Amino acid sequence: MVFHIGEKVVYPNQGVGTIENISSRCFGTEFQKYYLLRFVYSSTTVLVPFSNVKDIGLRRITNQAEMSRILSFLASGSCRFSQDWKCRFKENTEKMQSGSLLHAAEVLKTLLQLQATKLLSFREKKMLDRARHMLITELAITRQIDEGEARQVLERALAKASLRLPEQL
Protein backbone atom coordinates (compact mmCIF):
# COMPACT_ATOMS: atom_id res chain seq x y z
CA MET A 1 0.00 0.00 0.00
CA VAL A 2 1.45 3.34 -1.06
CA PHE A 3 0.60 6.61 0.66
CA HIS A 4 1.39 10.17 -0.42
CA ILE A 5 2.53 13.29 1.42
CA GLY A 6 -0.48 15.09 2.87
CA GLU A 7 -2.66 11.96 2.97
CA LYS A 8 -4.47 11.15 6.21
CA VAL A 9 -4.02 7.57 7.39
CA VAL A 10 -4.95 5.49 10.43
CA TYR A 11 -2.31 3.95 12.67
CA PRO A 12 -3.90 1.16 14.75
CA ASN A 13 -4.64 2.03 18.36
CA GLN A 14 -3.22 5.54 17.86
CA GLY A 15 -5.66 7.16 15.47
CA VAL A 16 -5.47 9.45 12.49
CA GLY A 17 -2.23 10.93 11.31
CA THR A 18 -0.97 12.80 8.28
CA ILE A 19 1.90 11.66 6.07
CA GLU A 20 4.24 14.66 6.38
CA ASN A 21 7.27 13.34 4.57
CA ILE A 22 8.72 10.34 2.79
CA SER A 23 12.42 9.79 3.33
CA SER A 24 15.18 7.25 2.90
CA ARG A 25 17.74 6.28 5.46
CA CYS A 26 20.82 4.15 5.18
CA PHE A 27 21.61 1.56 7.83
CA GLY A 28 24.92 -0.07 6.97
CA THR A 29 24.52 -1.14 3.36
CA GLU A 30 20.71 -1.15 3.38
CA PHE A 31 18.47 1.72 2.31
CA GLN A 32 15.02 1.87 3.88
CA LYS A 33 12.19 4.21 2.94
CA TYR A 34 10.01 5.72 5.69
CA TYR A 35 6.78 7.62 6.10
CA LEU A 36 6.96 10.44 8.63
CA LEU A 37 3.53 10.40 10.24
CA ARG A 38 2.23 13.19 12.50
CA PHE A 39 -0.77 12.32 14.67
CA VAL A 40 -3.62 14.81 14.62
CA TYR A 41 -4.59 14.17 18.24
CA SER A 42 -1.24 14.49 19.99
CA SER A 43 1.05 16.23 17.46
CA THR A 44 3.58 13.45 17.96
CA THR A 45 5.46 11.97 15.03
CA VAL A 46 6.54 8.46 14.14
CA LEU A 47 8.67 7.00 11.37
CA VAL A 48 7.03 4.01 9.70
CA PRO A 49 9.23 1.87 7.45
CA PHE A 50 7.62 1.03 4.11
CA SER A 51 8.42 -2.62 4.84
CA ASN A 52 6.34 -2.57 8.06
CA VAL A 53 3.21 -0.80 6.78
CA LYS A 54 1.23 -4.03 6.36
CA ASP A 55 2.45 -5.59 9.63
CA ILE A 56 1.60 -2.44 11.58
CA GLY A 57 -1.81 -2.19 9.92
CA LEU A 58 -1.45 1.36 8.62
CA ARG A 59 -4.52 2.00 6.48
CA ARG A 60 -6.52 4.63 4.63
CA ILE A 61 -9.46 6.49 6.21
CA THR A 62 -12.71 4.49 6.24
CA ASN A 63 -15.05 5.18 3.31
CA GLN A 64 -18.67 6.43 3.55
CA ALA A 65 -20.27 2.99 3.04
CA GLU A 66 -18.20 1.36 5.79
CA MET A 67 -18.85 4.31 8.12
CA SER A 68 -22.61 3.91 7.59
CA ARG A 69 -22.28 0.20 8.40
CA ILE A 70 -20.39 1.03 11.60
CA LEU A 71 -23.01 3.58 12.69
CA SER A 72 -25.77 1.01 12.02
CA PHE A 73 -23.88 -1.51 14.15
CA LEU A 74 -23.64 1.02 17.00
CA ALA A 75 -27.34 1.87 16.71
CA SER A 76 -28.68 -1.67 16.95
CA GLY A 77 -28.73 -4.46 19.48
CA SER A 78 -26.13 -5.31 22.04
CA CYS A 79 -22.76 -7.02 22.07
CA ARG A 80 -21.64 -10.06 23.99
CA PHE A 81 -18.55 -9.69 26.13
CA SER A 82 -16.60 -11.68 28.65
CA GLN A 83 -17.40 -11.09 32.30
CA ASP A 84 -13.81 -11.94 33.21
CA TRP A 85 -11.82 -8.68 33.27
CA LYS A 86 -8.55 -10.22 32.02
CA CYS A 87 -10.18 -11.98 29.07
CA ARG A 88 -12.27 -8.92 28.17
CA PHE A 89 -9.28 -6.57 28.36
CA LYS A 90 -7.15 -8.91 26.23
CA GLU A 91 -9.90 -9.23 23.59
CA ASN A 92 -10.47 -5.48 23.51
CA THR A 93 -6.73 -4.73 23.29
CA GLU A 94 -6.41 -7.08 20.32
CA LYS A 95 -9.38 -5.41 18.62
CA MET A 96 -7.92 -1.94 19.13
CA GLN A 97 -4.54 -3.06 17.79
CA SER A 98 -6.13 -4.59 14.68
CA GLY A 99 -6.66 -1.14 13.18
CA SER A 100 -10.23 -1.95 12.15
CA LEU A 101 -12.67 0.86 12.87
CA LEU A 102 -15.45 -1.74 13.23
CA HIS A 103 -13.38 -3.42 15.96
CA ALA A 104 -12.95 -0.04 17.70
CA ALA A 105 -16.75 0.38 17.48
CA GLU A 106 -17.19 -3.06 19.08
CA VAL A 107 -14.87 -2.06 21.93
CA LEU A 108 -16.75 1.21 22.41
CA LYS A 109 -20.14 -0.50 22.43
CA THR A 110 -19.18 -3.33 24.79
CA LEU A 111 -17.53 -0.95 27.25
CA LEU A 112 -20.53 1.39 27.17
CA GLN A 113 -22.83 -1.57 27.86
CA LEU A 114 -20.61 -2.71 30.70
CA GLN A 115 -20.38 0.81 32.12
CA ALA A 116 -24.18 0.89 32.41
CA THR A 117 -24.01 -1.94 34.96
CA LYS A 118 -20.74 -1.36 36.81
CA LEU A 119 -17.73 0.93 37.09
CA LEU A 120 -14.99 0.43 34.55
CA SER A 121 -11.39 0.05 35.63
CA PHE A 122 -9.03 2.92 34.86
CA ARG A 123 -7.51 0.96 31.96
CA GLU A 124 -10.92 0.21 30.47
CA LYS A 125 -11.91 3.87 30.81
CA LYS A 126 -8.76 4.83 28.88
CA MET A 127 -9.57 2.25 26.21
CA LEU A 128 -13.15 3.53 25.97
CA ASP A 129 -11.84 7.06 25.55
CA ARG A 130 -9.38 5.96 22.85
CA ALA A 131 -12.11 4.08 20.93
CA ARG A 132 -14.42 7.11 21.24
CA HIS A 133 -11.71 9.42 19.95
CA MET A 134 -10.83 7.15 17.02
CA LEU A 135 -14.47 6.90 15.93
CA ILE A 136 -15.12 10.63 16.22
CA THR A 137 -11.93 11.61 14.41
CA GLU A 138 -12.42 9.23 11.52
CA LEU A 139 -16.14 10.02 11.25
CA ALA A 140 -15.31 13.74 11.04
CA ILE A 141 -12.79 13.18 8.26
CA THR A 142 -14.99 10.73 6.33
CA ARG A 143 -18.06 12.97 6.43
CA GLN A 144 -16.04 16.21 6.17
CA ILE A 145 -17.59 17.66 9.33
CA ASP A 146 -16.01 19.03 12.50
CA GLU A 147 -15.43 16.78 15.50
CA GLY A 148 -18.32 18.33 17.45
CA GLU A 149 -20.76 17.37 14.72
CA ALA A 150 -19.16 13.92 14.46
CA ARG A 151 -19.68 13.43 18.19
CA GLN A 152 -23.36 14.33 17.78
CA VAL A 153 -23.74 11.80 14.93
CA LEU A 154 -22.11 9.14 17.11
CA GLU A 155 -24.29 10.06 20.11
CA ARG A 156 -27.48 9.79 17.99
CA ALA A 157 -26.45 6.34 16.74
CA LEU A 158 -25.64 5.12 20.26
CA ALA A 159 -28.89 6.57 21.66
CA LYS A 160 -30.84 4.21 19.36
CA ALA A 161 -29.19 1.34 21.28
CA SER A 162 -29.89 3.11 24.60
CA LEU A 163 -26.21 3.93 25.09
CA ARG A 164 -24.55 7.22 25.90
CA LEU A 165 -21.03 8.51 25.36
CA PRO A 166 -19.19 9.50 28.53
CA GLU A 167 -17.33 12.77 28.80
CA GLN A 168 -13.69 12.66 27.75
CA LEU A 169 -11.18 11.58 30.42
Q: Are strands 45-49 and 30-39 parallel, antiparallel or unpaired?
A: antiparallel
pLDDT at 43 over 90: no
Q: Can you give the pTM of this predicted structure?
A: 0.88
Q: pLDDT value at position 169?
A: 57
Q: How confident is the model at residue 68 (pLDDT cuts 50, 70, 90)?
A: very high
pLDDT > 70 fraction of the chain, expressed in percent and rounded: 99
Domains along the sequence of the chain with CATH: 8-60 (2.40.10.170), 64-160 (1.20.58.1290)
* Burial grade of 168 (CB within 10 A; 0-12, 13-18, 19 or more): exposed
* CB within 8 Å of 68: residues ≥ 6 apart: none
